[in-house]
Amino acid sequence: MKNLSRRACFLSIVVVLLIGGGAYLYIHNTYANQAVVKDLATQTASTTRVAATENSNMTGWKTYTNTTYGFSFKYPPDASVSRLSEGPWHRILVMSLPQKELYVVINIITNSNGQCRTSSPDSVPDPSVAAHAITLGHLTYSAWNASTVYSTPRGPQPVEAYCVVNEKKNVMYDLSVYGAEFSPATSDVNISEVERQFLSSFTFAN
């Protein structure tokens, strides 16, 4: 009963965050005020923290492919993928795995001109925000990841934001991931194994 209550609380938090302009606009505005995001276009894969190879434990995972926007990813068989109404931010779907308290919102930005967001001066550092290079799946394109921690009724809740550009499609993917663990003592954000597996499977579709 306690776990169900925690999951219900977590889901309600996610819903609240999605409302009022969406995860993309909300995170974008937050970064404009406090995030430290570095230009990672020249960084190499050696600086990445997310593994670029798929985990063998992903046997049995399903595959979602979107030919319109040119991307594909794998997800656990007990997860659900829901299409959302496309608005000005092209928030097209959400993958939810309540058992793991993991939720992924994927935003699509067309005509991005190959630019992931890079803003906010280094003079405004925040220990709850980390910026570092990542690799999604087998992609070698430039990407960035930033972690922001919000105060919620259940305690600090981190949101991982991933950005990667598909130059062939001229599309930018903005992934907002809810469900990482936060260590208040060290301000570290620890992503779960299932999140790593999901990210390792994200790739471009022809």
Reading the chain (206 residues) residue by residue, the pLDDT tens digits are 544 455 544 445 544 444 444 444 333 433 333 322 222 222 222 223 333 344 557 889 999 898 888 888 898 888 888 876 665 556 667 778 776 667 788 888 776 665 564 433 332 233 333 333 445 555 544 455 566 676 766 666 677 777 777 777 777 777 777 766 656 665 566 667 887 888 888 888 86
Between CA 160 and CA 164, with CA 163 as vertex, the angle to 5 degrees is: 145
Structurally, the chain folds into a number of domains equal to 1
**Alpha-carbon distance 198 to 189, whole Å?**
17
Phi, psi (rounded to 5 degrees) for 8: -65, -40
Looking at residue 61, what is its pLDDT? 92
**CA–CA separation, 164 and 133 (whole Å):** 11
- What's the CATH number where 130 sits? 3.40.1000.10
Closest CA to 24 of 109, 82, 137, 150: 109
The whole domain housing 150 covers 2-204
Contact 31, 148 (CB under 8 A): yes
Q: Roughly what angle, to the nearest 10 degrees, separates helices 22-34 and 2-18? A: 80
Task: Name, in order, each residue with C-beta under 8 angstroms of 197's C-beta and a sequence gap of 6 or more.
Answer: 54, 55, 57, 58, 61, 74
